[in-house]
């Protein structure tokens, strides 16, 4: 609960500063937005580590294919990073570039997920 209060406080302060700067110096507004996002990310980095630790613990205790889990975690990471940075790019007023970067991230995720889909299909076929 303490972390969310810090995050919301930082987000609110960052938003106020960014709005104020957007009127006077828009280029600094983007930097404030980016810095605010990085600061928020640093605050939740412990939570991200905990999630990864918990997933690894579940994988080791169940005997699941660790390569598949690593692949899913990588795909999630790419999706999160792509979402963040395309939003920053869009906030900078470059929505066309943001949409192209988002499309590229989706293609990369699609290519990365194909081996996992193949494993699922193989597992289903093995059942019959």
User: In the numeric block, which tokens belong to residue 85?
Assistant: 């940075």
Residue 93: CB atoms within 10 Å: 11
Per-residue pLDDT, 64: 74
Q: Kindly report the average pLDDT of the chain as a whole number.
A: 88
Q: Of the spans 80-84, 107-111, 117-121, which averages the highest pLDDT?
A: 107-111
Q: In which band, very low, low, confident or very high, does the pLDDT at 92 lie, cut at 50, 70 and 90?
A: confident
Q: Is 70 exposed, middle or buried (0-12, 13-18, 19+ CB in 10 A)?
A: middle
Q: What is the pTM of this model?
A: 0.73
């Amino acid at each position: 609960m303490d972390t969310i209060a810090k995050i919301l406080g930082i987000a609110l302060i960052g938003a106020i500063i960014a709005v104020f700067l957007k009127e006077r110096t828009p280029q600094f507004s983007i930097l404030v937005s980016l810095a605010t996002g990085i600061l928020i990310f640093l605050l939740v980095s412990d939570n991200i580590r905990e999630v990864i630790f918990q997933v690894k613990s579940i994988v080791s205790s169940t005997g699941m294919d660790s390569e598949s889990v690593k692949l899913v975690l990588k795909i999630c990471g790419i999706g999160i990073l792509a979402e963040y940075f395309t939003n920053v790019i869009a906030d900078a007023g470059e929505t066309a570039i943001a949409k192209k970067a988002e499309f590229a991230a989706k293609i990369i995720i699609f290519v990365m997920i194909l081996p996992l889909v193949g494993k699922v299909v193989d597992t289903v076929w093995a059942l019959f």
